[in-house]
Structures are given as structure tokens and as C-alpha cells.
A and B are shown apart, each in its own frame.
Chain A
Amino acid sequence: MIKVQNVSKEFSEKLILDDINFSLDKGGITSIIGPNGAGKSTLLSLMARLMPLDQGQISFDDLDIKQTPSGVLAKKISILTQSNHISARLTVLQLVMFGRFPHHKGRPQQADHAHVARMLELMELDEIADRFIDQLSGGQQQRAYIAMILSQDSDYILLDEPLNNLDMKHARNIMKSLRKIADEMNKSIILVIHDINFAAAYSDLFIALKDGKIIVQGSVDDVMTEANIELIYDMQVDIKTIDGKKHAFYYT
């Protein structure tokens, strides 16, 4: 269970997050949506202790992120931030194995190798496992980073725009894989995602941020209404139900 209480964040006297409160039960996929600059990435970074939490409290399964040692948190939560530029020259296999570092501390065991192999297969990277990441395309790199985060095997997985750089096929495959991981392994996955239809198709819950505040939250079905989307994004869309799923049409 995630608890976020009274969290606010300021950057140079500008309020980025304004008294955020929510709690999420364990399991499932939650997507944080909202316009650019709403504070989504900041919220994710604060939850994963990448930024100092000045105001408020965040806890995962009663582990307060301020009080728990970082090494313990690394087995509880993992995060992939938006732009990753790794200048170190590593192979895909080495990179993904570093995702296991909180568990093996530098000495990979049988279980670590098995886990890494599973994630490489899941992210369709097994054929390029021995290539250096600086020789890969943007999409392949992105999948390698996701595989690294997934191999960390934490209960809570935070992904900031994981579909960056991915083509349609790989974007769909990754969302399917995330769904599978959430369902079969009982993981909680929290995404920041811009494509509202992708988010709606694979998520259980939506949290919508605007100007640093939670403006709407609830099940995908409840949030996906024309009125809500207009409230969040200041634009009019048509919501149509096709095969029992809601889709937003805004391309024309």
C-alpha cells in the first residue's frame, strides 16, 4: 500500500506540487495523467527518493521513505526516469544485471541470472544481450532500461513515460508485459503516460494532476468522460465506447 500525505514541493519559490494526498492498494496499474508541467514527474521522483522530500510523508507498506535506508528501499521500489543518458559503455546483459544489484551486491547468484534471462526475453532483448547499449537504437535502449528496472524485482515499479522512443508494436508489447507482471506477480505499477488511450487500455486507475494538484482520480471508466478530460487538458474530446472500452478521439 502506498500512502502519500500532504506532499508539496517548491522549486525556486514556484509551487510544483500543492498538498498531494492519495493512497493506493497493492497491485494493479495506476497511470498518472495530466498536461505538461502538472508535476507528474516531480511526484514520481519524490516517491522514489530521487529528490529530497521537504514537505509531507510518503510510505510504501509502512516503510517511510525518509526513514528507511536506501538499500532497503531499492528492493521495495524502483524507478525509471524520463531521460536516461548513460555514458558508461555497458552491454545490455551487464546493464540488466545491474538492476539486480540491490539483491546480489556485486555477486550474481543463480537466481539473479535466471531473473535477468526472463526479463531479457520479456523485453525481446535476448538476441542483442551482448551488444553495447551505445550501439542500440533509442527504442532498444528504452527496452533495456525497462528490463533493468523490472529485474530489480521490487514490489512497486514507477515508470516515467516508459513508451518514449518506442514504435507501436513495442509500445503495445511493453504495456502487455506490464499488465502481465502486475497481474501474475502482484506488483504495483505506476506510470506517467501521455497517450490517454494507451493508458486507458491497460490501467486500472487514473490520477490526474493539473497545476500541482490532484484534479480527478478514480477508475479508468470513471475518469474517462468528456467533462473530465476537458477539465484536465482544457480541450474537447469525443469519448466513444468500442468493444466495452472507452476511447478518446482527439485527432481531428
Chain B
Amino acid sequence: MNLKIFLAACLFVVLFVISLMIGVSDFEFSKIFSDDDHLLILMASRIPRNFAIVLTGSSLAIVGVIMQMIAANKFVEPTTAGTMDSAALGILCATLLWPHSGLMFKMLIATLFSLFGSWIFLGIIRRLPVTNPLLVPLVGIMLGGVIGSIATFIAYEADLLQYLSIWINGDFSGILRGRYELLWITFGLSIIAYFIANQLTIVGMGENIATNLGLNYRAIISLGLIIVAMVTAIIVTTVGMIPFIGLVIPNIVNRVVGDNLTKALPIIAYIGAVFTLVCDIIGRLIIFPYEITVSVIIGAIGSAVFIYLILKRPRHV
């Protein structure tokens, strides 16, 4: 086990360093102490971008598994439940109504919108038959479509379509020092999620078992949803929407280590970060010196894995 952790840490460091080296501007590690320009590129652009990638990847993966526990459905995550679209609509409204407000305020409005979106989603899926688990993400994607089209309509009328596309298409190329620090809040939220990992696992066993074990089912669900909504809102405001991480990573991890979150959550966070790093590196290399946005790369790989997971669902005896 220790060897595995060591190898995993090595892989992470290697990817992190590779990611630091890729970029259009002239940059070499050997010159950071002799040339101020090189140091500036590292500190103001490359390192913030790398932190943003790691924080986004790990927290989105964690948020995905939290939603899967709350909805008791393996195919739910912020983009298949309308949560991301609600957050985008929230920032749009905040930008329209309070154009001079700060990023923090916009993020709060986005959090409230995505909480509301999750609440509608849970209200709908409670009425769906449990026998067909694929109905849940279908309904969620439709809900997201409806909310997204409302956002598009408003943005069109207000001439804000370009802004909206920034929030909808996740992309790390705009990340600079001073413009991503909100993302560190997701790190704190991930830690909170780890502290309630047992409770979240029990919630995943259903309301009856959770109540039997003395848990306040609704309180845990509310706390989980607040974490989900805040993380989603922060990521949409800073990076933009990124699909499938929350879906693919937990589903791969649970095949191997199961859903006991005290055990699975650190692994989910790690693989989420590594996966996002790899996808972002690929996106920057394919058409170098140009860049394909990370959401496109993740969308392509993620949807392929999603289809594989649906077809290869573990058979129940």
C-alpha cells in the first residue's frame, strides 16, 4: 500500500512538472533564478493554472460522488442534474442585476441558484421509479437543458452571450494569479466532505437505514447539497463548466474499492486531479501552439467512458 502511495505521488509530481513546462511563452526552469520574466511566468501563470486544474479535478470528482450518494444513483453529477446550468444562470443574473458586484457576491448568487436547481432535481427524481436508474440522469440532463436555454435566452436579450460561453465552456487558459484564488475554497469544502464521509455513505444506503442508525437524514443531505452547490458555483465562476469528471471518476473508483467513502474519497480526489491534469496537457499539445479547451477533451473522453460504464454495468445476481 505504501509503495502504491509512493508511485501515485511520483506520477502526480511528474504530471505536475510536465504541465508547468507546456505553454506558448518562452519558459525554462533553469532560468527562473536568473531571469525575472521566467519567474513571473511561473508564478503568475503556470503555477496558478496547475493549482486550478488540481483543485477543479479533485473537487468535481468529490462533488460527483456526493451527489451519487444523495440521489442513490450512479449516473448523477453536476452536469447531469442541472446543477452546473443553474450556477451559470445564477452568475448571469448576478451580472445583469448587480453588474458592479465582486466575484464573491456573484459566486454566492450562483450557489443559491444551484442549490435551488438541485432541490428541483431531487423533487423530480423522487417521483421516478427506482427500477430504471437511467431515467434519473436523463431527467437531469433535460432539466439542465431547460435551465441552460433560459440562460441563453436571457444572455441573448442582454447581449451577454460571450460571457455565458465563458462560464459554459470550462477552460484553464484564462487562469492567472489573482483570478483563481476562490478555487481554494473548494479545497476546504473537500475536507469537510471527508469529515462527513461516513454519514454520506450511510445516506447512500437510503433514508430508512440512515434513520435507523440515528442519523438526521435531511441534515446530512442539506449539508451535502450545500457543498455540491458551492463547489459547482465556484468552478463555474472561475474555470467554467466541466462535464463528466464527477461521473466518470467515482464510477471507476467504486468498481475497485467500493463506495465506503472514508476509503474511497481520497482516491477519488487523487484520480480526479490526475485525470484533469492529463486532459489539460493533451488539450494544450494536440494543436500546439493553440489550445483545445479542457472541457472539450474531458467531454470526449468522459462520454466514451460513460457509454462503456453503462454497457458494462456490474451484473446483479
Contact = CB atoms under 8 A, between A and B. Distances in A.
Interface of A: 48-50, 69-75, 78-79, 81, 84-91, 94, 98-99, 101-102, 106, 132, 134-138, 149, 152
Given A85-B206, A106-B198, A90 B259 contact: yes
Contact of A88 (B133, B204, B255, B316): B204
A101 B314 CA distance: 28
Contacts, number: 82
Interface footprint category on B: 20 to 34
Interface string B111-143: 000000000000000000010010000000000
Nearest to B205: A86
Residue of A69, A78, A94, A152 with highest tally of chain B CB at under 10 A: A94
A79 B206 CA distance: 13
A152 to B, nearest CB: 7
B212 A78 contact: yes
Give chain B's interface secondary structure class.
Answer: loop
A78 B198 CA distance: 19
Contact of A90 (B73, B133, B211, B258): B258
A98 B213 contact: yes
A137 B314 CA distance: 14
Contacts of B213: 74, 98-99, 101-102, 152
B315 to A, nearest CB: 9
Contacts of B133: 87
Contact of A74 (B214, B255, B260, B262): B214
B215 A70 contact: yes
A87 B95 CA distance: 40
B208 A71 contact: no
A50 B316 contact: no
B296 interface: no
Residue of A87, A88, A106 with highest tally of chain B CB at under 10 A: A88
A102 B130 contact: no
18 contacts: A48-B211, A49-B211, A50-B208, A50-B211, A72-B214, A78-B212, A79-B212, A85-B206, A86-B204, A86-B209, A88-B259, A89-B255, A90-B259, A98-B202, A102-B213, A106-B198, A149-B212, A152-B213
Contact of B258 (A91, A149, A152): A91
B254 interface: yes
A73 B205 contact: no
Given A48-B212, A88-B69, A94 B258 contact: yes
B316 A106 contact: no
Contacts of B260: 90-91, 94
